Amino acid sequence: MRIHIQNGRIIDPSQGLNTIGDILIEDGKIKEVRETIPPHTPLGKRGRRGGNSPDTRIIDARDMIVIPGLVDMHVHLREPGFEHKETIKTGTMAAVKGGFTTVCCMPNTFPVNDNASVTEFIKRKASQEGYCTVLPIGAITKGQKGEELAEIGTMRKEGCVAFSDDGQPVMNSLIMRRALEYSKAFNVPVISHSEDLSLSEGGVMNEGLLSVTLGLRGSPAEAEQIMIFRDIVLAELTGGKLHIAHVSTKGSVDVIRNAKKRGVHVTAETCPHYFSITEDAVKGYDTNAKVNPPLRTAQDVEAIKDGLRDGTIDVIATDHAPHHRDEKLREFDTAPSGISGLETAFSLSMRLVGSHILTFSQLIEKMALNPARILQIDKGTLGVGSDADVVIIDEKKEYTVESHKFISKGKNTPFNGWGLRGMPVITIYKGKVYEW
């Protein structure tokens, strides 16, 4: 089976490509990327030539943008244990809809992915029911309790690409030091959910005048910054590979920028909600705007954009955190944190191109190439021979976000009703075509 994508604008930062051209896919791999690829004219059974082969699918990508499949290094697929929120099947389907062909799932399932048997379960389930590549992230500590290291080496062999206690910080500095040291043996990044729990003390939104006027407990920006700083100095001490998850504050961007200038091996991600909306979304006690770290101020949003622009922030990830409707329809204090992000991430991020914060090519770096490089996986590229993970974007297509139409089981989004522009219209995963 061949697929011939014609006349699209191919943008692939891994090869420095930004050109109108064709892509030929064969047997699930990228076969050729060129300005024009002649119609495929194989020698027929009887040796005749001419015309398109019936087993070649032609996709006309005129006026469309053709990019490598996006890589989301931060999602919650909820399986095993919380299948009412999401499953590997529904989560990966939502991913493909959103233009992602690789997703990395966080270990805060039930049971926690802190041992190779859970990793094996996720991998097997994903290969049976998944619509895209699922790469698990293992827990740093057993049960994500922050006390004892989990079997990082064994989980690495089973397929974990990074380690994180996401949702929970590793509060004990010695354990975090050990994790950064020990992980060096397996050359994997440690992903930090940076939050000083003693300072955030049950905060449910950003601390400031708004938290006071709403009577909601605030978590100060400093609770994030302190932990990022701690983990950066521990990375300096140990030489381990540190990746900072979901950066949300101006101070955090400053701390990371500074560390990168010093040459510390640190990378960082943010999520669309941290550069698209502010804490104002919480007004009216909208639990769909409850997320951890919390939505911050306009000043923070600007700083996140600056960080994306100057390369301080390497990656845009979704932190896709689906929840059941009933769980969000309750007291703000006790509703779970999280936004279902896979199906809005690309369009929200495209706004950065519209406002000249990133070029289109830089956007693809942050959403495909950089996460692939950080995780050292052969994804996020249209290079010949790599998996045929290709997404076709209609950058002019306008639509309104309707959360009830999400493929994800999680309809929890503060972006419901937003008018957005630019969306994936075709996602090809290892040569299989999904079209909307």
Nearest-CA neighbor of 217 among 199, 198, 203?
Answer: 203
CB of 334 to another protein, least distance (A): 7
CB of 196 to another protein, least distance (A): 15
CB nearer another protein, residue 265 or residue 324: 324
Which of 319, 387, 389, 394 is labelled catalytic? 319
CB of 281 to another protein, least distance (A): 14
Count of alpha carbons within 13 Å of 33, Cβ hemisphere only? 25
Amino acid at 338: G
Task: To the nearest 10°, report the CA torsion of 305, 341, 354, 247.
Answer: 10
CB of 254 to another protein, least distance (A): 21
CB nearer another protein, residue 35 or residue 331: 331
Report how far residue 140's alpha carbon sits from residue 180's, in angstroms, rounded to the nearest whole number: 10
Question: HEC string of 2-69?
Answer: EEEEEEEEEEEHHHCEEEEEEEEEECCEEEEEECCCCCCCCCCCCCCCCCCCCCEEEEECCCCEEEEC
Report how far residue 370's alpha carbon sits from residue 367's, in angstroms, rounded to the nearest whole number: 7
Report how far residue 429's alpha carbon sits from residue 28's, in angstroms, rounded to the nearest whole number: 8
CB of 285 to another protein, least distance (A): 3
DSSP H or E run through 267: strand 266-270
Where along the sequence are the contacts to another protein (CB under 8 A)?
A: 208-209, 212-217, 284-285, 326, 329-334
For tokens 């306008």, the residue is 398
Q: Facing residues of 435 across strands?
A: 426
CB neighbours of residue 283 within 10 Å: 11
Peptide bond into 80 cis (omega under 30): yes
Q: Facing residues of 135 across strands?
A: 104
Known catalytic residue at 319: yes
DSSP H or E run through 391: strand 390-400
* Largest interatomic CA distance in the chain: 80
Active site residues: 319
